Chain A
Amino acid sequence: MIRITRKVEFSAAHFYHNPNFSAEENRRVFGKCNNPHGHGHNYVLEVTIAGEPDPTTGMVLDLKELKDILQREVMERMDHRHLNYEVPELAGQIPTCENIAAVIWKLLEPKITTGKLDRVRLYESPDLFVDCTSDVGSGNGARA
């Protein structure tokens, strides 16, 4: 099996706020990420596809096709957007790196028809990233 990874970058704004928490609790749990005016990041997304190279083309999948899927599913939805207000898939969720990565996984998984989505890695900064991977065989159970 071969894994191939494509990287894209998008910039977006967000803030963390849970309406079930009091103002004081929001500040305590989320710290400065609770600033209601929001703040932004340059997100770096690495998408890894696993599969066997096609014997004719020598490719697991056409990277151009993957580039188009990432453009349509991720860039057009999230680039230069406010993640709290403009991405319906995140409605009702705190737009943490964990939740954004999970939304990206769910958007991409059905679109990858050649090979298999192996990993979504989303960097919020060079020092913080979230990995989503298939849990088949891990015994860890499904995630929300």
Chain B
Amino acid sequence: MKSSLTRRYRFAASHRLHTTKLSEAENKRVYGKCSNPYGHGHNYVLEVTMTGMVDPETGMIANLGDLDPFVRREVIEPFDQKFLNEEVAEFRAEVATTENVAREIFRRLKSFPLARLERVRIEETSKNSFEIEDEVNEVRG
């Protein structure tokens, strides 16, 4: 038996799906109303899954006293109540789709020193969700 711990967080942010690699007409065709130049926003729900040994002294895979401040510092503070395209440097270079947001969040959380990041899952709305997993784990699994 192996176990994992999943914690849910929330942030609200705006974005616009638009790339300079495409013409205005193509942007409009590909991204539809998500390309509206003024942007729009979502209440994102972020699920962070950690794996590792359960520490016999604490009974924990990851202590929320360590994990919560780490996620807050790496993701929630820089992303919450922000315009992702302008205010998160990585999305000046790439489209702020939730696929790319998930990948960026995975990259930021991977350095958590006290457990292994297994999966990041984001609900952009209650109808759309996006998942990214540790590739080493995928090969093993």
Contact = CB atoms under 8 A, between A and B. Distances in A.
B53 interface: yes
A133 B8 contact: no
B62 to A, nearest CB: 9
B126 interface: no
A131 interface: yes
A138 B6 contact: no
Nearest to A106: B1
Contacts, number: 85
Contacts of A18: 57-58
Judged by DSSP, the binding face of B is mixed
Interface residues of B, number: 24
Interface string B46-66: 000101011011111101110
A96 B9 CA distance: 20
A30 B6 CA distance: 18
Interface of B: 1-9, 49, 51, 53-54, 56-61, 63-65, 140-141
